[in-house]
Structure 1
Amino acid sequence: MAVKNPNSSLRRLEKYYYRVVVIIILVLHPVCYSVAATNINNNHHSGFSTHLIRKKSLNSPFHNHRKNKVFRRLMGPNTLQSPLTMDENDGEHLMKFSIGTPPVDIYAVADSGSTLLWTQCKPCDGCYKMKHAMFDPNKSSTYRKVPCSTKECSFLEDNGFCSLPKMVCTYYYSYVDDSISKGVLAKETIILTSTSGKPVSLKDIVMGCGHNNSGSLTENQMGVIGLGRGPLSFISQIGPLVGGKKFSHCLVPTDTDPKTASKISFGNGSEVSGDGVVTTSLVDKALFQDQYLVTLEGVTVGNKFVPFSSQGNLKLFEKGNMIVDSGTTLTYFPQDFYERVVTQVKKTVNPKLDPVYMNIVLDDPTEGTQLCFKTTKNLKGPDVTMHFEGGAKLKLTAEQVFFEDPENKLYCFGMVNTSRSDTIGEDQVGIYGNNLQGNILIGYDLDRRVVSFKPADCIKMSSSNISSSSNGAGATHPSYFSTYLLCLLFINVLLSQIIYEFFY
């Protein structure tokens, strides 16, 4: 009879415990996955991005295939995604998002110069014509009117009042371009689409349901999304959810392929950093409390510095003389400063070219005039550097500040003047509009109270994969891997201890 191997029982036990270990790992693997996923879902401080579709993009619902003009739009890095078009009628940027349950698509003017988010709502007897269907709050299960007694209603200040007998908060907003919106303040769910294609819901966002709206708004514009500094602005409301009250955008040049999409970023990941960044402080003024007001010390045209201030007008020395505004298509300078700037521009341009002053609005010089030159060739104009407070110098190339007007066979300077007292005339405040923001990454940070500028290739940023350069949607969050690996490591240590105790 063969002698029984004393190690055979031990080997059988080893196989048994090996199977047990494998089963335990398979059972606990989904536990680790669940823990890691829960950790990500509970992180409310990741930023997001929205896509901005140019008004002539094939992706735009307003695209006219019979025309082939090119326009600009916004962009920036990070997570949530929503198309935004530039309106073919007036050059405003339209940000796409959805509201309500079930969701309804909205195309609203992205305006950093105002605070309220509003859209036209049914019933709407005094409303302007739109291409898209109007939002009906009666069909949304998440729509709630805001009572008069709430702090949200008090934020409206002079723009709000109480509607009797139901004590509902009512708003009345008017804009410089004579547009108005009157309606009910409400809370609703706002939905944006992430770059991974997944919808992201932002609940209880305060908005205006406009029942009486008029003015210069076009049929493409379903309302306004205020990105300003006030407490009711979209930026202020979502700040606690996305890691801070901050956002950034980058406009592509006007001659870019209209199929190229743009993006605007909010919260964490929207910061403007790296080589070439210049930063200036925000300034508070009672008349411009909702605007991003900065101090422009002057501009350099070619090699000549032109100060914003001039002798005999001490008011021009005040801080906070320039509004950075994505909702204004042109860049405006007060009359005195504008005249001195264009005088230097004319000295640097070929003297053989005849200067022409064009009215921004036909037959209305009070809306502003623009310096142009009669030429069909690419104008070799000077570079222009904007000097902001704190040593921030933003250089604009000739290609950024001169624009072709093929219809009139002109090349025009991108800065204009105005004598309208209801815009900048009496206050001596200029507007840095979106026509001079091409290929510049601009970041607005309300928490740090600064605006940052960085020369950038906005086309490249637009075409790059957001998830490859940030922790937004479309990329696996690094904290997911760390949580998952730590869980597996814990299981491994535990099982190793059990095996050690058994065999040794």
Structure 2
Amino acid sequence: MKMNTKASTLSPTLVFLIFLHLSWVSSRNIISNNSGENGLTFDLIHRDSPLSPFYNPSNTPSIRLRNAFQRSFSRASFFKKNSFATNNTIQSDIFPIPGEYLMKISIGTPPVEILAIADTGSDLTWTQCEPCINCFQQSTPLFDSNKSSTYKTVGCNAEECASITSSCVGGNICEYQMSYGDQSHTIGDLAFEKFTLPCTSGNNVDIPNVVFGCGHDNGGTFNNYTSGIIGLGGGAISIINQLDNEINGKFSYCLIPIALDSSISNVTSHINFGSSAIVFGPNVVSTPLIKMDPSTFYYLNLEGVSVGNMMVEFKSSKTGSSYAAVDGQGNIIIDSGTTLTLLPNNFYTNLVSTLVNMINATKKDDPSGTFGLCYESEGGIIDAPKIVAHFTDADLELSPSSMFAQVEEGLVCLTIVPAEDIAIFGNLAQANFLIGYDLVANKVSFLPTDCTKY
């Protein structure tokens, strides 16, 4: 591993602000409001979209949905306490094969395009790099930092190095080490580099001196269609917090439930930063964002779920569990990378019992044994009661098509499943909401939105 001493003489913030001014003058896709914040919007590509390299046109919506559900169960294991960092490793929570949403970005000068997993449950952004000691097969060329004029390794005494599990190599190069719950891993140099992001207008935005991992030793269950991860978590080294001065801690996304509808081929989900991420309007509801350890994950407080006129009170996991709420707060993780919604066993049982009493349809067992509550349905729809998730200060009416999905012909199942010691508000439940995160005000806002038209 090597050290490249090329560096800008200007601070990252000053360079960024100069760039923003020049970009505005040349009418590039940087939007400023009266407060001076900057707004950016980018595409999020669902892994089952025709725009994704993972897309299999022979798969039916039911097959895509089944596959996404299986990934949810695997991903949940990465949020458990025994998946967290030890003294020797830093654990990530992302399910590495292959993630639900992808982003195209370019790194370096000249820019090299990569396709990476966009994940609100991970902090460090990384990609495979030359020279590669041990890398998983990748369909596109690896990033070669020797060919970039803007690459610079992070020193061992730098604040960025101290924020992750690392060691010092080559005299003064910060080497990060990250392992995953399935024994996958990435090891490499922590570095600064210019990132180029493609805005939805077709123009590009350059962001200098982004801290990322240049992975020289990567292995396990990663897929060759992607080359790494874009970390959108709440930790110090995530992209969100690295750009805090520019975006003021704001980002939002609008997710299309593309796994449910194969006809959606010419639209994508979107992710916004800065002023473009502000969620406003008369129908917006907001709930506190609870800060907990680890800071990577975004915690909310779920007070209960109502079915029709019946309220099922939510209670945190058993005392001493990995995710027991602190003072009754922060009992569920909102996660874009998990398709299903996972709830603790006792609460799930009470919720299902309430649903069964209110649904007039023929119950049917799921042949795969995946789902606990299924019904016969000729058109993929049942007459389900209104389901509302009650977060602190925010009531969300959940779409019937998101709560009961057709998993095979003539069979619809509840997309909420039981889990031990963990609760996750998944992306099916989040679909067709514009969801805004404000890490300064510590809140998450929801606005019902047709994300195919957003």
- Kindly indicate whether the alpha-carbon contact (under 8 Å) linking 1:185 and 1:209 is maintained by their aligned counterparts in 2: yes
1:68-467 alignment runs, 5 A limit: 69=61, 90=98, 92-156=100-164, 159-163=165-169, 165-176=170-181, 178-241=183-246, 243-253=247-257, 254-255=260-261, 257-286=264-293, 288-309=294-315, 318-356=328-366, 358-360=368-370, 370-377=372-379, 378-389=381-392, 391-406=393-408, 409-419=410-420, 425=421, 429-461=422-454
Paired with 2:117 and 2:298, the residues of 1 have a C-alpha distance of 17
Amino acid paired to 2:25:
A
Paired with 1:311 and 1:65, the residues of 2 have a C-alpha distance of 40
1:38-77 alignment runs, 5 A limit: 45-67=37-59, 69=61
- Secondary structure of the structure 2 residue equivalent to 1:209: strand
- Kindly indicate whether the alpha-carbon contact (under 8 Å) linking 1:404 and 1:411 is maintained by their aligned counterparts in 2: yes
- Secondary structure of the structure 1 residue equivalent to 2:275: coil
- Secondary structure of the structure 1 residue equivalent to 2:444: strand
From the superposition, tell whether residues 262 and 213 of structure 1 become closer, same or farther in structure 2 (CA, over 3 Å).
same
Structure (1 or 2) with the larger CA radius of gyration: 1
| Runs (5+) with no aligned partner, structure 2 | 1-21, 69-94
Paired with 1:348 and 1:103, the residues of 2 have a C-alpha distance of 56
Paired with 1:143 and 1:186, the residues of 2 have a C-alpha distance of 7
- Secondary structure of the structure 2 residue equivalent to 1:125: coil
- Displacement of 1:334 after TM fit? 1.5
Paired with 1:88 and 1:289, the residues of 2 have a C-alpha distance of 20
Paired with 1:92 and 1:51, the residues of 2 have a C-alpha distance of 13
- Displacement of 1:342 after TM fit? 1.6
| TM-score with structure 2 setting the length | 0.78
Amino acid paired to 1:354:
K
Amino acid paired to 1:244:
N
> What is aligned with 1:14?
none
Paired with 1:169 and 1:94, the residues of 2 have a C-alpha distance of 27
- Displacement of 1:351 after TM fit? 5.0
From the superposition, tell whether residues 276 and 388 of structure 1 become closer, same or farther in structure 2 (CA, over 3 Å).
same
From the superposition, tell whether residues 46 and 299 of structure 1 become closer, same or farther in structure 2 (CA, over 3 Å).
same
- Secondary structure of the structure 2 residue equivalent to 1:186: strand
**Deviations 1:6-62 (CA, angstroms, capped at 9, x unpaired):** xxxxxxxxxxxxxxxxxxxxxxxxxxxx9x938999977321010123334444344
**Deviations 1:445-472 (CA, angstroms, capped at 9, x unpaired):** 10111111111111111xxxxxxxxxxx
- Displacement of 1:68 after TM fit? 6.1
Paired with 1:179 and 1:37, the residues of 2 have a C-alpha distance of 45
From the superposition, tell whether residues 89 and 207 of structure 1 become closer, same or farther in structure 2 (CA, over 3 Å).
closer
- Displacement of 1:327 after TM fit? 2.1
Amino acid paired to 1:248:
S
- Secondary structure of the structure 2 residue equivalent to 1:106: strand
> What is aligned with 1:82?
none
- Secondary structure of the structure 2 residue equivalent to 1:342: helix
Paired with 2:347 and 2:415, the residues of 1 have a C-alpha distance of 14
From the superposition, tell whether residues 177 and 402 of structure 1 become closer, same or farther in structure 2 (CA, over 3 Å).
farther
Paired with 1:399 and 1:65, the residues of 2 have a C-alpha distance of 22
- Displacement of 1:332 after TM fit? 1.1
- Kindly indicate whether the alpha-carbon contact (under 8 Å) linking 2:104 and 2:114 is maintained by their aligned counterparts in 1: yes
Q: CA RMSD in A?
A: 3.1
Paired with 1:103 and 1:276, the residues of 2 have a C-alpha distance of 41
- Kindly indicate whether the alpha-carbon contact (under 8 Å) linking 2:104 and 2:198 is maintained by their aligned counterparts in 1: no
Amino acid paired to 1:319:
Q
> What is aligned with 1:479?
none
Paired with 1:57 and 1:114, the residues of 2 have a C-alpha distance of 22
Paired with 1:53 and 1:394, the residues of 2 have a C-alpha distance of 25
Paired with 1:306 and 1:42, the residues of 2 have a C-alpha distance of 43
- Larger helix fraction of residues: 1
From the superposition, tell whether residues 251 and 293 of structure 1 become closer, same or farther in structure 2 (CA, over 3 Å).
same
- Secondary structure of the structure 2 residue equivalent to 1:345: helix
Amino acid paired to 1:95:
M
- Secondary structure of the structure 2 residue equivalent to 1:344: helix
**Deviations 1:304-358 (CA, angstroms, capped at 9, x unpaired):** 1111128996956721011111122222111221121122222222353224485
Paired with 1:224 and 1:310, the residues of 2 have a C-alpha distance of 31
- Secondary structure of the structure 1 residue equivalent to 2:276: coil
From the superposition, tell whether residues 292 and 88 of structure 1 become closer, same or farther in structure 2 (CA, over 3 Å).
closer
- Secondary structure of the structure 2 residue equivalent to 1:94: strand
From the superposition, tell whether residues 160 and 313 of structure 1 become closer, same or farther in structure 2 (CA, over 3 Å).
closer
Paired with 1:150 and 1:88, the residues of 2 have a C-alpha distance of 29
Paired with 1:103 and 1:395, the residues of 2 have a C-alpha distance of 43
| TM-score with structure 1 setting the length | 0.71
| Runs (5+) with no aligned partner, structure 1 | 1-33, 74-86, 361-368, 420-424, 462-504
- Displacement of 1:173 after TM fit? 2.0
- Displacement of 1:194 after TM fit? 2.5
Identity of aligned residues (%): 39
